[in-house]
Amino acid sequence: MSEQLERAVRHSISVAAPIDKAFEVFTEGFGRFKPPEHNLLGVPIAETVFETHVGGSLLDRGVDGSECRWGRVLAFEPPTRLVFSWDISPAWQIETDPARTSEVEVTFVAEGPGQTRVELEHRHLHRHGDGWDALRHGVDGDQGWPLYLERYAAVCAGGR
Whether residue 35 is preceded by a cis peptide bond, meaning omega within 30 degrees of 0, is no
pLDDT of residue 159: 61
Which residues have a Cβ under 8 Å from the Cβ of 110 and sit 6 or more positions away?
Answer: 18, 19, 116
Element of type H or E holding 83? strand 81-86
**Residues 82 and 51: beta-carbon distance below 8 Å:** no
Q: What SS3 state is found at 91? A: coil
Distance CA 84, CA 54 (A): 9
Distance CA 143, CA 146 (A): 7
pLDDT of residue 7: 83
Phi/psi region, residue 80 (left: phi>0; alpha: psi -120 to 50; beta: rest), is alpha
Q: Which residue, 110, 105, 83, is CA-closest to 21? A: 110
What residue ranges of the chain have pLDDT lower than 50? 1-2, 5
Distance CA 71, CA 57 (A): 6
Q: Determine the straight-line distance between the first and last CA of the chain, rounded to whole angstroms.
A: 40
Which residues have a Cβ under 8 Å from the Cβ of 6 and sit 6 or more positions away?
Answer: none
Phi/psi region, residue 19 (left: phi>0; alpha: psi -120 to 50; beta: rest), is alpha
pLDDT of residue 160: 57
DSSP letter assigned to residue 25? H
pLDDT of residue 1: 44
The per-residue pLDDT for range 121-155, each reduced to its tens digit, is: 999 999 999 999 999 999 999 999 999 999 999 99
